[in-house]
Every structure is written in C-alpha cells, then in structure tokens.
Amino acid sequence: MRVLKRALAIVYLAAAIVALGTLVCQFWGPYTYRFMLLLRDTMPRVVVTVCAAIVALGVLIGFFRLMFARREPSCVHPAGERNIEVTLAALSSCARAAAEFDDRVMVEHIEARVQGSDESRVRFKVEAIALDDRDVASQAIAMQQRIEKACDTMLGTPGTTARVRFLPSKTTVQTVEVSGE
C-alpha cells in the first residue's frame, strides 16, 4: 500500500507540473506563442487535459478527506458525561507513573486511544523493557492492574483497559582488555 501511495503521489506531482507549467508558459514568459502553437495539435492538448483532470481529481479527493475524515478524539468523557473531559495526555501521564512504579521494568512507550461511541473508555498500549527476566508474566499482569486502577481512580469510573507488551532489551556488552604493563 505504501508503494502504491508513493507511485500515485509521483503521478500527481508530474501531472501538476505539466498542467500548471503549461498554463503559466501559455500566458506568461518569452515562449507564449510557441506554447499556443504546441497546443493546436491534438496530442499535447490531450496530455494537458488529462494532467489537469488528474490534478482536479486530487484536489477533490483532498477536499473530501479534509471534510469527512473522522478525527481522533483527544479527550475521554467519564461515564459518557459530555460536560466532563479528561485529556489523553493527563491519562497517559497517570498510566506512565503507575507503570514505572516497579523498578524492574523500564517503560519505553505508552499509546492511548479513546474508545466507545460515547467516548467514555480509553485503551492503553504499553511497551516496556523487563530489567529482570524472572517472572515477566506476573510483572505484566501487575503493571496492567496498576495502570487500570490508577486511571479508573483518576476518571472516577471504570473505563480503562491496558495491554502490556515487553520488548527485547537493547543492551550491548563491551569487553575491554587491559594490558598489565
């Protein structure tokens, strides 16, 4: 999908350069007469028309994406109460503090998403590194429970779910030889 988007962006850019370049060169510049003669032929006129249609279609798609795209909510409404808002930044800070309570783990990243039709629930994805490889499953369960309890206490109502994922440690070992002279 990423390759297709990149290819479409290149086609759109080339079409915009051809369409706008032809328009500008036809009305301004030292070669206006030559461009007018060039556009008398059928093939250049078809190419410029197709490029202009591609640009118009791209502008139309951009307009509809801007107008009708679903925006990601940045606040949670506890218990569905629309007059109360708690930002995801505040909840993420609370979740990070609860996750880092244990000295045996290091929190790498926390992602929060609002869920539910009434935007009353929040889901956390926590990525952490275990500094102690013993009993990682119980560390994950304890961290999950601490996050959910702290955020539910902050919201005043249950509505938090957390998923904890442990990443591999990124430590490297260097050996230094000391000469005994």
* 3-class secondary-structure state, position 126: strand
Residue 149's pLDDT is what? 93
Helix axes 136-155, 88-99, angle to 10 degrees: 140
CB under 8 Å, gap of 24 or more: what pairs does 170-177 form?
170/129
CA-closest candidate to residue 27, choices 16, 15, 39, 43: 39
The alpha carbon of residue 148 and the mean position of all alpha carbons in its chain are separated, in whole angstroms, by 24
Q: CA nearest 160: which of 92, 82, 74, 83?
A: 92
In the chain, domain spans: 2-68, 75-167
- 125 pLDDT exceeds 90? yes
Backbone angles phi, psi at 104, to 5 degrees: -85, 0
Q: Render pLDDT for 49-105 as a digit per residue (tens, 0 to 9).
A: 999 999 999 999 989 888 887 777 888 888 878 888 888 889 899 999 998 888 888
Range 29-45 average pLDDT: 83
What does the pLDDT read at residue 163?
A: 92
Task: Output the six-digit token pair for 60.
Answer: 């139309």
> In CATH, what number does 75-167 get?
3.30.70
| CA atoms of 165 and 4, how far apart (whole Å) | 31
